[in-house]
A = this chain, B = another copy of it.
Amino acid sequence: MINASVAGVIEEAYKHEQIEEVYGALNGILGVLNEQIIDLSEEKNSAIKGLLYTPAAALGSCRHKLAFGSKDAAKAAEAQRDCERILEVFKAHNIRYFFYAGGNDSMDTADKVNKLAQEQGYELRVIGVPKTIDNDLPFTDHCPGYGSVIKYLATAVMEASRDTEAMCSNPTCNLIEVMGRHAGWIAAGTVLAKRSEEDGPHIILLPEVPFVRESFVAEVKAIIAKLNRCVIVVGEGLQGPDGKLISFMDGKFVKDAFGHTQLGGAAESIRGIVEEEVGVKCRTAKLGVLQRSASHCASKTDRDNAYLAGARAVQIAVEGQTDVMVTLTREGAGESVKFGTGTAALAEIANNEKLLPRDWINEQGTLPNEKFIEYARPLIQGEVTPPMEGGLPKYVRLEKHLVEKKCGEYGAK
């Protein structure tokens, strides 16, 4: 949904005569650092419209983090250098409005850039646009991207549950692993697939609820006894009572070739427990990046709010605001919910993670409750239908015409 926010920024920007040119940075902040600036006026109008249903990030993304406040003095110094470089590039291109879409780290970067501009007396307005499927930013009702990821996952879990139901002439357990390193918002959202007791998911393992082997095994046995099947959604960041990740094979972490601990083995780990202690056949699925890019099953409400957040960012910048993130707000409940926008200070967003409230989860900790459902259901309403070509979606690509460089090389990675 970051593309829909970008479309909101672009289309709104062209309505304001204070804004003469609209540029995009290739691969997020990396593109600013390396002065890879895209002239968006060179893009076809149809491509900008196409951003409303195209997955991923049409301008590219990056994992480059400005590590302000790092205990590693070299990293902290690099962050400061990066920040000064960003302003150097902005000045060279007379960039006076900086709209930055992302999560916690991005809001921290935006805040630091804003503060340095003020120190240097460079007139710059900096507005954050929330974007993370993790839905873990504070002060905003929800984050664009979240409604779509749970609409897709609830659909997929509903379908997988029907598959499990059809196959349950023998007892079967179906484990589906979804994203969420610290927060269980994504896993929780799959509860929307459950319209009756027999529907899956029957258990959702949330990172917020410490995993206790004994009570889990008892719960699975009870569900299998009743339904001859059990559909379990596992948040990848699931932890034991000791705070350690439940990961692949007997509690050993999987390390990649660089020695980094990899998330993503939680379902396989749970499978081992179920097969050993419940003694039923298990199937696992792990959706990986497919869940966050499933534009073919996006939520129109989510898309509209993503666009709104982008457009509103431009409006408040032109009105004179800076150093804030656009937030999404809600009024009313149920079918009469209306979403609007507000603002929150960038500095308060950064490094502040919103977890699933404990009282939105049932007492046993096995499923989100009605409070969560009331919150989440409005976010998945309506469908976005991409145009089709030859039986498959027709997504757009931007042409990405780079503007001429005016600064020296920087070489950020």
Q: A interface vs B, CB < 8 Å?
A: 27, 30, 54-58, 60-64, 151, 154-156, 158-160, 162-170, 174, 176, 192-193, 256-258, 264, 272, 275-276, 279, 281-290, 292-297, 299, 377, 380-383, 388, 390-393, 395, 413
How far is B193's CA from A408's CA once the two chains are assembled, in angstroms?
A: 40
**What is the chain B residue whose CB lies nearest that of A278?**
B257
CB distance from A395 to the nearest CB of B (A): 6
- How distant is A254 from chain B, measured CB to nearest CB, in Å? 8
Measured CA separation A289–B163 after assembly (Å): 7
A370 to chain B, nearest CB (A): 14
The main secondary structure of chain A at its interface with chain B is: mixed
Shortest Cβ distance from residue A60 to the other chain B in the assembled complex, whole angstroms: 5
A174 to B292, CA, bound (A): 14
The answer on a CB contact under 8 Å between B167 and A61 is yes
Contact in complex: B391, A377 (CB < 8 Å): yes
Q: Which residues of B contact A164 (CB under 8 A)?
A: 289
Contact assessment for B55 and A163 in the assembled complex, using a CB-CB cutoff below 8 Å: yes
A257 pairs with B275, CB closer than 8 A: yes
Residues from chain B with a CB closer than 8 A to the CB of A151 are 391-392
Closest beta carbon of chain B to A394's beta carbon, Å: 9
**Residue with the highest number of chain B CB atoms closer than 10 Å, among A54, A155, A174, A272:** A155
Within the complex, which residue of B283, B297, B413 is in contact with A297, where a contact is CB–CB below 8 Å?
A: B297
A196 to chain B, nearest CB (A): 9
User: With the chains together, A54 CA to B162 CA distance in Å?
Assistant: 9
**A60, B166: Cβ atoms closer than 8 Å:** yes
Contact A383 B388 (CB under 8 A): yes
